[in-house]
Amino acid sequence: MRVRRGLVGRIGGLRSPRSSPRATRKWIVAITVGGTSLAALFTVIWLVFATQTIAGTPRMIGRSHNDPNFPNVHAVSGMPSEWIATVCKPHAYANFWTALFPAKAQYLYPNTAFHLPRSVHSALCSAKYEEASDPVVLIAVYQSEDLMQLDLADNGIQWYCFAAVDGNLFVMATRAEERVMGANSLNASPVLAPLVDDGFIVYADPGR
């Protein structure tokens, strides 16, 4: 009997496996915080992909560019980043990220092919139209159409289109000579023709 009482005493001295109220509260808080974090993460992911969907449809959204500084320049829809994505290929190393997050794609390279002393800014990209005789697309910004025309003519540009954006002229141009019938039933460069859907007019022979 003494042994049994001792055994009972030892067993009675052990802690109950049940958690204390404080530990239970900690678990509840941890689960709540974790669930909130996951919900926030899924919300961010959803917003990212929703943004990509919007960015991929510039003709349905985007303000019309009708700059009062250039009342005679044809108004177009969309934004410069969307126009670049329309006619340019992303960098080869960005293709993986492009598939997941199109807005993160990188398109532009420093301008090493054109001498544009009258431009405010210039850059290059690789034409998405892979059969172009010249695979380079010029992107440049000018303060006036006369300055733009002079630079484009001096550099042998065959086709170009432009829009007024924030008090400047945003131009995209190519030396490739190929021509196709555009969506507006006018001849256009196949390199720049997709921009006709945004309201652009593709012109030939700058400076004339």
50-99: pLDDT as tens digits = 333 323 323 333 344 567 778 888 889 999 999 999 999 987 665 555 55
- Are residue 93 and residue 156 in the same domain, yes or no? yes
Across the chain, mean pLDDT equals 74
Tell me how far apart the alpha carbons of residues 58 and 109 are, in angstroms, rounded to a whole number.
23
Write out the two tokens for 95.
Answer: 């293709």
Q: Is 109 a member of any domain?
A: yes
Where does residue 113 rank: exposed (0-12), middle (13-18), buried (19+ CB within 10 A)?
middle
**Residue 180's pLDDT band (boundaries 50, 70, 90)?**
confident
Give the pLDDT of residue 58: 32
Give the pLDDT of residue 12: 42
How do residues 98-151 score in pLDDT, each as one tens digit? 555 555 568 899 999 999 999 999 999 999 999 999 999 999 999 999 999 999
- Are residue 90 and residue 125 in the same domain, yes or no? yes
Give the pLDDT of residue 198: 93
How many separate domains does the chain show?
2
Tell me how far apart the alpha carbons of residues 7 and 18 are, in angstroms, rounded to a whole number.
21
Tell me how far apart the alpha carbons of residues 18 and 52 are, in angstroms, rounded to a whole number.
50
Query: What's the pTM value of the predicted model, to 2 decimals?
Result: 0.64
How do residues 149-165 score in pLDDT, each as one tens digit? 999 999 999 999 999 99
Q: Is 103 a member of any domain?
A: yes
- Are residue 49 and residue 126 in the same domain, yes or no? no
Domain range for 160: 80-204
Tell me how far apart the alpha carbons of residues 208 and 197 are, in angstroms, rounded to a whole number.
25
Determine the residue type at 111: N
Give the pLDDT of residue 187: 83
Where does residue 199 rank: exposed (0-12), middle (13-18), buried (19+ CB within 10 A)?
middle
For helices 21-55 and 80-87, the axis angle rounded to 10 degrees is 70
Q: Is 73 a member of any domain?
A: no
Share of the chain above pLDDT 90, in %: 48
- Are residue 101 and residue 199 in the same domain, yes or no? yes
Give the pLDDT of residue 73: 87
Rg (the chain; Cα; Å): 31
Q: Is 157 a member of any domain?
A: yes
Cβ count near 140 (within 10 Å) = 26
